[in-house]
């Protein structure tokens, strides 16, 4: 093998891996006199690793280079996934600086676990080999279990992490069993070759169907699709706000990109017998996810739990792209992920920017805060309007692209249901702006807030402002993003099965 070419493919993954190894060493320093500087150095190291990997991947994209190393391929899909992931990770690190200081729980291992999860997600979306997929799945899942329980003095953190771990272990086992069954039928673990051999079979092999179903179950768990969503509200509630945001954005986004690669390869783009069965299963999961996610979010009083059920419902919208299974539907999925990154990181970042930690994350705690920091609140409002799909935000155009393809593919009923579900979501998303701008704070909570020290969260506030601007910019620059990025990613991915 060519050493330089191998390094070119692996370097985006090796840079955060090196940071993950270095950060725990810095955390060993217990000297009170240097602790402040050590904390700063740890966060700077994490950001430097993210920036280095980001700049390298963007250079690959601009140059059109797509290096490979065995079954690890840094193609357009992997490069887009890496850029998406690294932007989410950078925003998470910035928000963590403020949030962990508010919690009084700044630990070096938090950043090390985050960098390890970044490595696993990058591997997960960059390989066509089922064993490497499983390795990437475990490499990012295990750190996320630990990150959920970062503030381990809080009972909700331990409860959420335990539920996530127990259900995640079952989902990983199902994923692995599905890979084994598909290998038994096809004699290959490469998804491209597996798809070719499945296409040569006469009829639909029951073992292949069972294997594909178990594999799909693993993916559905990671995107929090119903009925594999039970862990999500508790895990998000117990995790630090930036970690919950990272799980909702990066985990969901990279899992959908990996599913896009596997689905188009194994099922022949959704047109074969196996593809039809998988699309039917995804349609059922999408319906359950949209209905359950939106209806349950309506009755939440905790903002984080509301955002958790919101995240579940968005998984349903994204699954509809696989039901339509057209290149433009997949293009809409990729564009929607870009929008989802901005709007969800901004929605979660609002809590950190206002210093609402621990149990102080109800709608009552948001009352009247909009007038204290109007710029920040306006940006967060834009993010929430985008989540609801209000034009001209990016969320509206992402949903429009997917719903339009559903109609053109003949799934009019599903498209109507998706629109109705999106309309229901407007109510609970508007509860946040209403609390921020229109409701007066409760006297008891106002006195409690007055007794708290002044909150300074410059990095979290900056990310919220950036996210608010991005939701508008992505809406106005939709054509540029679709033609320049999303369509190129999908063309490259669909080419795997040709």
For 27-88, give the DSSP string.
TT---TTTHHHHHHHHHHHHHHHHHHHHHHHHHHHHHT---EETTEE--HHHHHHHHHHHHH
Please provide the average confidence, as pLDDT, over all residues in the chain: 88
pLDDT 10s digits, 351-408: 999 888 877 888 888 888 888 889 999 999 999 999 999 989 999 999 999 999 999 9
Residue with the two structure tokens 């990095």: 459
Q: What is the pLDDT of residues 410-421, one digit of tens each?
A: 899 999 999 999
pLDDT band at 333 (very low <50, low <70, confident <90, very high): very high
Contacts of 393 (CB under 8 A, 6+ apart): 339, 343, 382, 385, 386, 471, 472, 474, 475
Six token digits for residue 422: 């999106």
Q: What is the DSSP string of 114-126?
A: HHHHHHHHHHHTS
The token pair that represents 42 in the structure block = 């740890």
What's the length of the chain? 498
Determine which of 180-184, 302-306, 436-440, 453-457 has the lowest per-residue pLDDT on average. Answer: 453-457
- Higher pLDDT residue, 158 or 105? 158
Residue 329 to residues 319, 402, 407, Cα–Cα distance (Å): 10, 5, 11
Say how far apart CA 254 and CA 87 lie, in whole Å: 13
DSSP 278-338: HHHHHHHHHHHHHHHHHHHHTT--BHHHHHHHHHHHHHHHHHHHHHH--HHHHHHHHHHHH
Structure tokens given for 275: 């593809």
442 vs 245, higher pLDDT? 245
DSSP letter, residue 267: T
Is the pLDDT assigned to residue 204 strictly greater than 70? Answer: yes
Task: Write out the DSSP string of 8-27.
Answer: HHHHHHHHHHHHHHHHHHHT
Task: List beta partners, residue 72.
Answer: 69, 127
The answer, yes or no, to whether residue 4 has pLDDT greater than 70, is no
Q: What is residue 425's predicted lDDT score, i.e. its pLDDT?
A: 93
State the average pLDDT over residues 247-255. Answer: 94
Between the alpha carbon of residue 72 and those of residues 10, 12, 331, the distances in Å are: 8, 12, 23
Query: What span, in angstroms and rounded, lies between the C-alpha atoms of 411 and 400?
Result: 14
Q: Which residue has the tokens 């259900």?
A: 167
Q: For residue range 254-299, list pLDDT tens digits in order.
A: 999 999 988 888 776 556 678 888 899 999 999 999 999 999 999 9
19 phi/psi in degrees, rounded to 5: -65, -40
Return the domain boundaries, the chain. Answer: 2-497
CA angle 329–332–337, rounded 5-degree value: 130
Q: Give the model's confidence band at 34: pLDDT under 50 very low, under 70 low, under 90 confident, else very high.
A: low
What's the maximum distance between 2 C-alpha atoms anywhere in the chain? 72
Q: For residues 259 and 225, give the distance between their C-alpha atoms in angstroms, rounded to a whole number.
A: 13
Portion of the chain with pLDDT greater than 70, in percent: 93
For the segment 467-481, the average pLDDT, to the nearest whole number, is 89
Q: What is the pLDDT of residue 498?
A: 34
Task: Give the sign of the dihedral formed by CA 54, CA 60, CA 64, CA 70.
Answer: negative
pLDDT per position as a tens digit, 85-142: 999 999 999 999 988 888 777 777 889 999 999 999 999 999 989 999 999 999 999 9
Residue 323, φ and ψ in degrees, nearest 5: -70, -45
Residue at token pair 């929607």: 336
- Tell me the C-alpha distance between 241 and 345, whole Å: 10
Residue 495 has pLDDT above 90, yes or no: no
Which residues fall within 8 angstroms of residue 176, CB to CB, at 6 or more apart?
134
Higher pLDDT, 200 or 475: 475
| Confidence at residue 257, expressed as pLDDT on a 0 to 100 scale | 93
**pLDDT (tens digit, 9 = 90+) per residue, 292-323?**
999 999 999 999 999 999 999 999 999 999 99
pLDDT of residue 243 exceeding 80 = yes
pLDDT score for 370: 85
């Amino acid at each position: 093998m060519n050493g330089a070419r191998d390094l070119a493919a692996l370097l985006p993954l090796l840079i955060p891996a090196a940071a993950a190894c270095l950060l725990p060493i810095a955390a060993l320093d217990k000297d009170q006199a240097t602790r402040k500087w050590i904390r700063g150095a740890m966060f700077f190291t994490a950001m430097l690793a993210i920036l280095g990997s980001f700049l390298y991947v963007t250079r690959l994209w601009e140059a059109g280079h797509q290096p490979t190393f065995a079954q690890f391929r840094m193609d357009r899909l992997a490069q887009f996934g890496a850029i998406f992931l690294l932007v989410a990770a950078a925003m998470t690190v910035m928000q963590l600086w403020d949030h962990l200081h508010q919690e009084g729980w700044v630990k070096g291992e938090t950043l090390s676990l985050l960098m390890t999860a970044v490595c696993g997600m990058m591997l997960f979306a960059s390989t066509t080999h089922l064993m490497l997929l499983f390795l990437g799945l475990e490499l990012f899942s295990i750190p996320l279990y630990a990150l959920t329980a970062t503030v381990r003095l809080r009972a909700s953190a331990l409860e959420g992490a335990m539920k996530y771990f127990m259900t995640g272990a079952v989902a990983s086992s199902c994923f692995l069993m599905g890979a084994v069954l598909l290998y038994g039928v096809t004699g290959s673990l490469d998804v491209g070759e597996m798809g070719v051999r499945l296409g040569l079979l006469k009829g639909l092999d029951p073992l292949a169907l069972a294997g594909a179903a178990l594999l799909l179950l693993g993916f559905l768990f990671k995107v929090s699709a119903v009925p594999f969503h039970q862990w999500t509200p508790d895990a998000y509630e117990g995790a630090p706000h930036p970690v919950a945001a990272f799980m909702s954005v990066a985990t969901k986004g990279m899992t959908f990109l990996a599913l896009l690669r596997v689905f188009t390869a194994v099922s022949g783009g959704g047109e074969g017998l196996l593809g039809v069965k998988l699309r039917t299963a995804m349609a059922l999961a999408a319906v359950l996810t949209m209905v359950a996610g939106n209806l349950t979010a309506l009755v939440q009083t905790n903002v984080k739990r509301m955002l958790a059920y919101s995240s579940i419902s968005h998984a349903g919208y994204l699954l509809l792209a696989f039901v339509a299974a057209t290149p433009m539907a997949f293009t809409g999925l990729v564009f929607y992920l870009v929008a989802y990154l901005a709007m969800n990181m901004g929605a979660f970042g609002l809590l950190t920017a206002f210093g609402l930690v621990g149990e102080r994350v109800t709608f009552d705690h948001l009352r009247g805060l909009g007038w204290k920091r109007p710029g920040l609140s306006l940006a967060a409002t834009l993010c929430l309007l985008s989540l609801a799909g209000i034009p001209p935000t990016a969320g509206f155009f992402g949903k429009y692209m997917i719903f339009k393809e559903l109609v053109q593919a003949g799934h009019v009923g599903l498209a109507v249901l998706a629109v109705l579900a999106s309309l229901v979501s407007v109510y609970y998303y508007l509860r946040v702006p209403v609390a921020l701008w229109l409701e007066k704070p409760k006297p008891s909570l106002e006195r409690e807030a007055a007794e708290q020290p002044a909150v300074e969260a410059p990095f979290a506030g900056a990310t919220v402002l950036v996210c608010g601007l991005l939701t508008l910019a992505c809406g106005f620059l939709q054509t540029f993003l679709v033609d320049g990025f999303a369509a190129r990613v999908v063309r490259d991915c669909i080419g795997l099965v040709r």
